[in-house]
């Protein structure tokens, strides 16, 4: 009898203790087959692929259509010095520098660029001033006359210590950011007349 | 006399020059600051040690160029023009780096020399990293386990003590009763005694029983209502990526890495190329040293010494924290882009977490509650809802235009 009491009390104790949540365990699920369907989810392990990744890249040469990819054009300049120079000479953005575009560009710039390139585009972002990163050029200094095609090329492939941001911003976003960066090249003044600034941009890059 | 005079003046000039040089040398402001110049002009492509970055590491560069500073000055100021002189070392270097052009630097010859002096004197700083045992992420989950064992051990000890002592107590009681001439019952057992005690103490036993029942009910209720709720789930990830350092201290915007949050159902786990935007340069972390960053390099098959990628990248097996059941549909872009919900409204103070944990319960009640209370942002930036709000208020004047009112509680919105 005593043994039974001991087993029951110990069992109850362990059961109660077991209710303490362990942060590394997700806990229990009731009928998990209803919670988790058999299909592969975006980031799951998929044994059908050699690298076991369910997340796949599009097939080479695939062109996205519609939605945010309306007017998508494949990028044809190669990741070489010649490609960089050619992009600088020939590549022009399709998005005009309207105040709305530049405001959106500023928002995107503050997400993707500002920590290194700085709020004024002077290359003095907080990662540079804190000494964690170094060697970021100033848009209004060294890169004052950088044509937009070269900017786009740099966003696509990266340059020097800057990595490629092509996986983070799509075509439209790249040009939107570039329109804002062009205002930083000129000292950060927001354009007032849209047609004038767009015309200035196209002459400047020629 | 005349000759003597000019001679002394010449000497005097030289003397002044030497004196000026010495005094400037001591004051240190006539000489260009090599370290400053190096950091401003060279660090985006070169390191001062022997590690390759975009261009070669500059350690021992003077020796490689035959100790001829003049050649290096020409190269730095205009590398393409220097290549045309046919210098074999420079041309081989150009070929080795796949023809990537070193941009012309606007530095004077003196400044180049100062930079070279700085490179010559440069020694890698010795970095002391905290040992992995000091990491709070690894110790805290172990602690409750230790305490559990201590409690179980103590409980077992007392139970065994009771089992051993019960017959002893019974025998003592029996013999005491026998001495007093009372009824001696040699068949008395532990259970029989307990039963007798319960019958003679009905009220306290009932009260105790009720309390035990209440306790079990509360504990059981909590345990059952926690089924399928992962709030507080905080698994150790394969790489000790700290949101506290990246999002907190370094103030990197959430969207820099989680780029899908405005465009897709998923907020995106960043692929490792996004890590490399910074970690090509930053090869050592402030708390974990090189070990954790090396795991990114291993996953990408990247060689930080040479700066090249190998052919065998391997995926990083991050552990998913927010596991919404498949029977419910959730879309990040609808909430963040359209609804203008801040990340932290659901994910909590991520920027303070070294190891991320699930902040919200993600239960249906939690979703519904928010849909009932949240007013739709129907300002000028969201014209679709502005129009809808005007129409809604025409029918229901003065009522709150919540998510519920635009169908946010319809079953089919999330379950289909």
Q: Is B293 exposed, middle or buried (0-12, 13-18, 19+ CB in 10 A)?
A: buried
CB atoms within 10 A of CB B393: 14
Q: What is the pLDDT of residue A9?
A: 57
Cross-chain Cβ contact A25/B190 below 8 Å: no
- The tokens describing A155, both together, are 């966003």
pLDDT band at A191 (very low <50, low <70, confident <90, very high): low
Q: What does the pLDDT read at residue B110?
A: 84
**Residue ranges of the domains in chain A?**
78-204
How many contacts, defined by CB atoms under 8 Å, are there between A and B? 158
pLDDT band at A197 (very low <50, low <70, confident <90, very high): very low
- Enter the DSSP assignment of B262: G
Reported ipTM: 0.81
**Interchain proximity B314–A20, CB inside 8 Å:** no
CB contacts of A22 in chain B (<8 Å) are: 141, 144-145
Class of domain B31-121: mainly alpha
Say if the Cβ atoms of B274 and A167 lie within 8 Å.
Answer: yes
Give the per-residue pLDDT at A155: 94
Choose the closest CB to B166 out of A2, A26, A170: A2
Using a CB-CB distance cutoff of 8 angstroms, which residues of chain B are in contact with residue A50?
none
pLDDT in tens, B63-92: 888 888 888 888 888 887 888 888 888 888
Pick the residue from chain A with its C-alpha nearest to B265. A42
Q: What is the pLDDT of residue A199?
A: 42
Would you place residue A10 in the very low, low, confident or very high pLDDT band (cuts 50, 70, 90)? low
Comparing alpha-carbon positions, the chain B residue that sits nearest to A131 is B39
Report the share of chain A in percent with pLDDT over 90: 34
Q: Which residues of A touch B232 (CB under 8 A)?
A: 21, 23
pLDDT of residue B259: 93
Give the pLDDT score at B218: 93
- Reading the block at residue B269, the tokens are 């786990």
Residues A143-174: pLDDT tens digits?
A: 888 999 999 999 999 988 899 999 999 888 99
Q: Cβ A165–B277 below 8 Å, yes or no?
A: yes
Residue B393 has pLDDT above 70, yes or no: yes
| Contact assignment for B44 to A30 by CB distance below 8 Å | no
Q: Identify which of B53, B100, B325 has the shortest CB distance to residue A81.
A: B100
Tell me which range, A52-56, B254-258, B389-393, is most confidently predicted by mean pLDDT: B254-258
pLDDT band for A135, please (50, 70, 90 cuts).
confident
For A53, the 3-state DSSP assignment is strand
Instruction: Give A184 or B20, the one with higher predicted confidence.
Output: A184
Quick one: pLDDT at residue B294? 93
Structure tokens at B67: 């100790």
User: pLDDT band for position A13 (50/70/90)?
Assistant: low
Query: B164-204, pLDDT tens digit by residue?
Result: 888 888 788 778 877 777 665 666 677 777 888 888 888 98
Q: What percent of chain B has pLDDT over 70?
A: 85
Between the two ends of chain B, the Cα-to-Cα distance in Å is 112
Q: What is the mean pLDDT of chain B?
A: 82
Task: Give A51's contacts (C-beta < 8 A, 6+ positions apart).
Answer: B313, B314, B315
Contact B274 A37 (CB under 8 A): no
Q: What is the pLDDT of residue A58?
A: 86
User: B117 by DSSP, 3-state: which?
Assistant: helix
Supply the pLDDT for residue B123. 79
Decide if pLDDT at A203 tops 80: no
Please, which contacts does A118-123 make with residues 24 or more away whose CB atoms are closer than 8 Å?
A: A120/A184, A120/A188, A121/A181, A121/A184, A121/A185, A121/A188
The answer to whether the CB atoms of A10 and B156 lie below 8 A apart is yes
Give yes or no for a contact between A95 and A179, defined as CB atoms under 8 angstroms apart.
Answer: yes
| Mean pLDDT across A95-118 | 93
Shortest CA gap A52–chain B (Å): 8
**Shortest CA gap A197–chain B (Å):** 24
Is residue B146 within a helix (H) or strand (E), and if so which, with residue range? helix B142-179
Q: Which residue has the higher pLDDT, A28 or A14?
A: A28
> For the segment B106-164, what is each residue's pLDDT rounded down to a tens digit?
788 888 888 888 888 887 766 555 444 444 444 444 455 677 788 899 999 999 998 88
CA gap B346, B341 in Å, rounded = 9
Q: Residue A3: its pLDDT value, please?
A: 53
pLDDT at position B188: 66
Mutate to test the interface with A, among B107, B325, B364, B415 (most CBs of A within 10 A): B325
* The residue to which tokens 């059981």 are assigned: B220
Judged against a pLDDT cut of 60, whether residue B48 lies above it is answered with yes
Distance from the B361 Cα atom to the nearest Cα atom in chain A, whole angstroms: 12
For residue A204, the model assigns a pLDDT of 38
**What's the pLDDT at B30?**
57
Question: If contacts are CB pairs under 8 Å, which of residues 7-66 in chain A contact chain B?
Answer: 9-10, 13-14, 16-17, 19-30, 34-37, 39, 42-43, 45, 51-53
Question: A53 with B314: CB under 8 angstroms?
Answer: no
Write a three-state SS string for B374-412.
Answer: CECCCCCCCHHHHHHHHHHHHHCCCCCCECHHHCCCCHH
Among A127-136, A172-181, B121-130, the range with the most confident prediction by mean pLDDT is: A172-181
Contact B282 A51 (CB under 8 A): no
Q: What is the pLDDT of residue B139?
A: 41
CATH code for the part of the protein at A78-204: 1.10.760.10
In chain B, where the domains are located = 1-29, 31-121, 144-182, 189-227, 363-416
């Amino acid at each position: 009898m005593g043994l039974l009491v001991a087993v029951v009390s110990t069992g109850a104790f362990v059961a109660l203790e077991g209710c303490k949540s362990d942060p590394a365990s997700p806990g229990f699920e009731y009928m998990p087959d209803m919670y988790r369907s058999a299909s592969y989810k975006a980031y799951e392990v998929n044994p059908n692929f050699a690298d076991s990744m369910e997340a796949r890249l599009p097939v080479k040469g695939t062109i996205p259509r519609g939605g945010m990819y309306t007017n998508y054009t494949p990028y044809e300049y190669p990741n070489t010095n010649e490609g960089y120079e050619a992009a600088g000479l020939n590549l022009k953005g399709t998005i005009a520098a309207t105040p709305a575009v530049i405001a959106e560009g500023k928002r995107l710039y503050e997400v993707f660029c500002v920590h290194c390139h700085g709020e004024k585009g002077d290359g003095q972002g907080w990662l540079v001033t804190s000494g964690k990163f170094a060697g970021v050029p100033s848009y209004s200094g060294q890169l004052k006359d950088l044509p937009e095609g070269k900017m786009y090329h740099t966003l696509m492939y990266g340059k020097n210590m800057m990595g490629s941001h092509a996986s983070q911003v799509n075509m439209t976003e790249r040009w939107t950011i570039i329109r804002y960066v062009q205002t930083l090249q000129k000292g950060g003044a927001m354009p007032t007349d849209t047609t004038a600034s767009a015309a200035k941009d196209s002459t400047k890059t020629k | 006399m005349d000759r003597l005079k000019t001679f002394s003046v010449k000497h005097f000039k030289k003397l002044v020059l030497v004196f000026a040089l010495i005094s400037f040398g001591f004051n240190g402001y006539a000489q260009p600051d090599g370290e400053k110049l190096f950091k401003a002009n060279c660090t985006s492509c070169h390191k001062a040690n022997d590690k390759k970055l975009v261009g070669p590491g500059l350690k021992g560069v003077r020796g490689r160029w035959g100790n001829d500073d003049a050649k290096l000055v020409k190269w730095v100021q205009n590398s393409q023009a220097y290549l045309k002189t046919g210098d074999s070392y420079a041309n081989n270097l150009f070929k080795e780096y796949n023809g990537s052009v070193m941009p012309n630097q606007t530095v004077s010859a003196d400044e180049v020399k100062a930079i070279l002096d700085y490179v010559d004197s440069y020694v890698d700083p010795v970095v002391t990293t905290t040992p992995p045992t000091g990491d709070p992420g690894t110790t805290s989950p172990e602690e409750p386990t230790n305490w559990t064992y201590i409690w179980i051990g103590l409980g077992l000890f007392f139970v065994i003590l009771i089992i051993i002592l019960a017959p002893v107590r019974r025998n003592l009681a029996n013999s005491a009763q026998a001495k007093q001439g009372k009824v001696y019952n040699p068949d008395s057992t532990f259970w029989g005694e307990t039963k007798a005690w319960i019958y003679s103490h009905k009220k306290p036993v009932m009260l105790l029983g009720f309390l035990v029942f209440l306790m079990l009910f509360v504990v059981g209720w909590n345990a059952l209502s926690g089924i399928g709720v992962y709030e507080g789930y905080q698994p150790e990830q394969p790489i000790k990526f700290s949101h506290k350092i990246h999002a907190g201290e370094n103030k990197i915007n959430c969207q820099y890495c989680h780029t899908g949050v405005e465009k897709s159902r998923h907020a995106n786990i960043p692929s490792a190329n996004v890590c490399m935007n910074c970690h090509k340069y930053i090869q050592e972390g402030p708390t974990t040293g090189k070990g954790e960053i090396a795991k990114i390099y291993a996953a990408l098959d990247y060689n930080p010494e040479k700066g090249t990628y190998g052919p065998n990248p391997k995926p990083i097996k991050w552990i998913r924290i927010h596991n919404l059941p498949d029977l419910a549909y959730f879309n990040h872009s609808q909430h963040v882009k359209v609804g203008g919900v801040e990340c932290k409204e659901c994910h909590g103070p991520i920027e303070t977490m070294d190891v991320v944990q699930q902040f919200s319960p993600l239960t249906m009640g939690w979703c519904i509650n928010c849909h009932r209370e949240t007013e739709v942002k129907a300002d000028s930036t969201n014209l679709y809802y502005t129009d809808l709000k005007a129409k809604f208020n025409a029918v229901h004047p003065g009522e709150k235009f919540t998510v519920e009112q635009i169908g946010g509680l319809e079953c089919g919105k999330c379950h289909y």
